[in-house]
Amino acid sequence: MKKFLKVITIILMTSMLLTGCIYSNTEVTINENGSGSVKHVVGFDKNMLNKLGKTYQDFTSKSNQSYEITYSGKKYTVGTYEDKFIEDINDSGVATISNEMGLVSLNKIYEGFELKLELHDFISKDMRYDTKFPEVKDISDKTLRDMRLKDLIAQDIDGLVLKVKFSMPYQVKQVSGGTSGVYVNGKTIQLDYLKMIESGSREWKFESRKNPNKVDPNNTIFKDVKKNAWYAKAVLEVNSKGIMKGFGDGTFKPNDTLTMAELAKIASEVAGQRIPNHPEYWAMGHILFAQDTGLFLEKKTITAKNWSVPATREQTVYAISMAAGQQDVKEVPSTSITDWNQIDNRMQSMILYAYQAGIVSGNSNGKFEPKSKVTRAEVAQILNNIK
Write down the pLDDT at residue 327.
65
Residue 158 has pLDDT above 90, yes or no: no
Q: pLDDT tens across 9-61, in order?
A: 333 333 333 443 588 999 999 999 999 999 999 888 888 888 888 888 887 77
Residue 192 has pLDDT above 70, yes or no: yes
Average of per-residue pLDDT values in the chain: 86
Write down the pLDDT at residue 322.
92
Position with higher pLDDT, 69 vs 151:
69
Q: What is the mean pLDDT of residues 231-256?
A: 87
Write down the pLDDT at residue 56.
84
Phi and psi angles of residue 45, each rounded to the nearest 5 degrees, phi first: -60, 120
Q: Are 31 and 305 in contact (CB under 8 A)?
A: no
User: Phi-psi category of 250—alpha, beta or left, where left has phi over 0 and alpha has psi -120 to 50?
Assistant: left
pLDDT band at 3 (very low <50, low <70, confident <90, very high): very low
Write down the pLDDT at residue 309.
95
Closest CA to 282 of 89, 60, 9, 3: 89
Write down the pLDDT at residue 310.
95
For residues 363 and 372, what is the distance between their CA atoms, to the nearest angstrom?
A: 12
Write down the pLDDT at residue 330.
66
Write down the pLDDT at residue 62.
79
For residues 140 and 359, what is the distance between their CA atoms, to the nearest angstrom?
A: 56
Highest mean pLDDT among 132-141, 243-252, 315-324: 315-324
Position with higher pLDDT, 251 vs 216:
251
For residues 208 and 174, what is the distance between their CA atoms, to the nearest angstrom?
A: 9
Position with higher pLDDT, 224 vs 168:
168
Share of the chain above pLDDT 90, in %: 48
Write down the pLDDT at residue 329.
65
Q: pLDDT tens across 114-155, in order?
A: 999 999 988 998 898 888 887 777 777 787 777 788 888 888
Share of the chain above pLDDT 70, in %: 91
Q: What is the mean pLDDT of residues 69-74?
A: 91
Write down the pLDDT at residue 154.
86
DSSP for 44-99? EEHHHHHHHT--HHHHS-TT---EEEEETTEEEEEEEEEEEESS-GGGTTHHHHHH
Residue 8 has pLDDT above 80, yes or no: no
Give kind and range of the element (H or E) at residue 3: helix 3-13
**Poorest-pLDDT segment among 119-128, 172-181, 288-297, 321-330:** 321-330
Write down the pLDDT at residue 267.
94
Residue 191 has pLDDT above 80, yes or no: yes
Q: What is the mean pLDDT of residues 288-302?
A: 93
pLDDT band at 215 (very low <50, low <70, confident <90, very high): low
Write down the pLDDT at residue 326.
67
For residues 319 and 266, what is the distance between their CA atoms, to the nearest angstrom?
A: 9
Largest alpha-carbon pair distance within the chain? 78
Strand ranges in the chain using DSSP code E only, listed in sequence order: 22-30, 36-45, 67-71, 74-85, 104-109, 112-118, 161-167, 172-176, 182-185, 188-192, 203-209
* Domain boundaries defined on the chain: 3-209, 232-384
Q: pLDDT tens across 261-294, in order?
A: 999 999 999 998 888 888 889 999 999 999 999 9
